[in-house]
Amino acid sequence: MQQQLDPAWVARVVQVALDEDLGPAPGRDVTSQATIPPDAVGTAHLVARAEGVVAGLVVVQEVVDQVAQRLGTDGVTVSLTVEDGARVWRDEVLAVLVGPVQTLLVAERTMLNLASRASGVATHTRRWADVLDGSGAQVLDTRKTTPGLRALEKYAVRCGGGTNKRMGLYDVAMVKDNHVVAAGSVAAAVRAVQERFPDVDIQVEADTLDQALEAVAAGARFLLLDNMPTPLLAEVVAAVRAGEPTTGRVELEATGNLTLDRAAEVAGTGVDYLSVGGLTHSSPILDLALDLQAS
């Protein structure tokens, strides 16, 4: 099972989302609280409206718990029928929720927003992972995430069979073209990071064969091969691999202008990773619904 979400992070995100939907705590749902007796108890099914890969189901219990606390109602029992990362089919029941109907309906949109978003990312990621299966290459995400939801979206990438790159600016140094301009050269930029933050890994972006070889010579052991047509990408991979008996292993990532149609071709050049910002910035949601069952 993939690394789980931090419960404290989940609690904070759910609190913000509920404040957004209900107003500042405790908040209110004027429709549900006016039409449904507080002691009415019911059952609801969380259902997939389309085929895909689910993620974010781990937030459902936190959402209903916080709503119950805000409304002062009894708790809701959540029984998941599938786990995050599972492939699901249209009309499949993902969870059964039993508890106060007010609580179920007040919690509905927040749980669906989070789980649908995460499941959309997981479903998109799985398409890439399936295309790359057996190639030796993995699909990576980027920092192009929804502000405030990065941990959830990167968790969803893992649920879909992808790999997280870096979580933020703090855990990996990534020397890109603007850093090279500011520092004066690739070597100068790499050296500056090594001197200031010797404990972090360094990745270097390269647009040409010469830049890639310069980065390796400067000590970089992870290269982002940016926007390269397939023949150039293959040439760079071959050149870097030829030097590995001397340099040691260099991880290679293709990035920029990647599509599912090109994925197998790009993986065939021998890169280790394909970096796809669209996993998190352009995935449509997976349509999920909460269906209250007739009593």
Residue 133 is encoded by which pair of tokens? 């299966």
In the block, residue with structure tokens 């606390």 = 69
Check: CB of residue 253 under 8 Å from CB of residue 242: no
Dist. CA 47–CA 90, nearest whole Å: 8
Query: If you search the block for the tokens 């057996």, which residue do you land on?
Result: 134
Residue with tokens 């509905």: 108
Residues 6+ away with beta carbon under 8 Å from 103: 64, 67, 68, 71, 73, 74, 76
Q: Both tokens of residue 158?
A: 């893992």
Residues forming the active site = 109, 144, 176, 205, 226
188 and 164 in contact (C-beta within 8 Å)? no
Instruction: Answer for the pair 92, 47: CB distance below 8 angstroms, yes or no.
Output: yes
275: part of which helix (H) or strand (E)?
strand 273-275
Element (H, E) at 295: none
